[in-house]
Amino acid sequence: MTHLLVITMLVSIAGGVIRGMTGFGGSLIMTPLLSMLFDPRRVVPPVLLVEAFAAAPMLAKAAGLAHYRTIAPICLASFVTLPLGAYVLTHAEPHVLRRGIAIMVLLFSAVLFSGVRYRGPRPVALSAGLGGVCGVMLGATGIGAPPVILYLLSGPDPIAVTRANLTLCVAAISLAALAILWMQGALYLEGPLSPLVMAPCFYGGIVIGTHLFVHASERALRQVALVLLMSVSAVALLK
């Protein structure tokens, strides 16, 4: 148990560093790594909780900048499909979940690394469809933000508005997922995976990552982070 506690703390720090460096990605490194040690059904809730509350200090500012017409269809559609994702999480075989998590992180990191962006029209139907997919993915694996991140990052909004949209959207969907997992009796927050263990380490990592972001090349840091995410997911996929 002691070695699992130490590993969980180190992984939480690593997730925080990635989050501080890139503005996202904490769950992308914590979920696949911790899922190699624990049942994914026990990993997803605490990671969601830690990530959701990491955004708390930014919510007030984000609320004043966000474009609600952009994020409302995404959030509302995701709320509808989250129960389906939670059902998958609680009933799927752990090894299937592990591989699904690893594949999603690998694909998302590779797409971001390649620089591919969506430049087409953004009708409400497309946003809602994306939100529906996001809800299933988040409920099932704790990693539902990648499609939304890619979609919003490639939009026409200024970077400050895009960050605000991402902050509010991901926080809202994560909190809704936690509520659904709680109602289904699947909110496991015990042992080495307790938020009391993970949160201080994660927030400490964010401080480190933010410091690196300020004092180094943003592009270089993002590339390093994405290569790390691809490496982690590849190892998890082959395990």
Q: Which domain holds residue 207?
A: 2-238
Domain count within the chain = 1
**Mean of pLDDT over the chain:** 84
Predicted pLDDT of residue 132: 92
> What is the distance between the alpha carbons of residues 165 and 66, in angstroms, rounded to a whole number?
5
Lookup: tokens for 108: 């998302």
Residues in contact with 235: Cβ distance below 8 Å, sequence separation at least 6, in sequence order? 36
Which pLDDT band, with edges at 50, 70 and 90, does 221 fall under? low
DSSP per position, 58-127: HHHHHHHH--HHHHHHHHHHHHHHHHHHHHHHHHS-HHHHHHHHHHHHHHHHHHHHHT----S---HHHH
Predicted pLDDT of residue 104: 83
pLDDT tens digits, one per residue of 157-167: 787 788 788 88
Q: Between residues 55 and 89, which one has the greater pLDDT?
A: 89
Please state the pTM of the whole predicted model.
Answer: 0.83
Listed residue (37, 109, 111, 103) closest to 237, CA to CA: 103
pLDDT tens digits, one per residue of 18-68: 887 777 778 888 988 898 889 888 898 999 888 888 777 778 888 898 889
Q: Between residues 190 and 144, which one has the greater pLDDT?
A: 190
Identify the burial level of 175 via C-beta atoms within 10 angstroms of its C-beta, where 0-12 means exposed, 13-18 middle and 19 or more buried: middle
Which pLDDT band, with edges at 50, 70 and 90, does 239 fall under? low
pLDDT tens digits, one per residue of 167-181: 888 888 888 988 988
pLDDT tens digits, one per residue of 98-112: 888 888 888 887 887
> What is the distance between the alpha carbons of residues 180 and 82, in angstroms, rounded to a whole number?
8
Residues in contact with 234: Cβ distance below 8 Å, sequence separation at least 6, in sequence order? 102, 106
pLDDT at 139 over 90: no
Q: Between residues 223 and 131, which one has the greater pLDDT?
A: 131
Q: Which amino acid is at 114?
A: S
pLDDT at 119 over 90: no
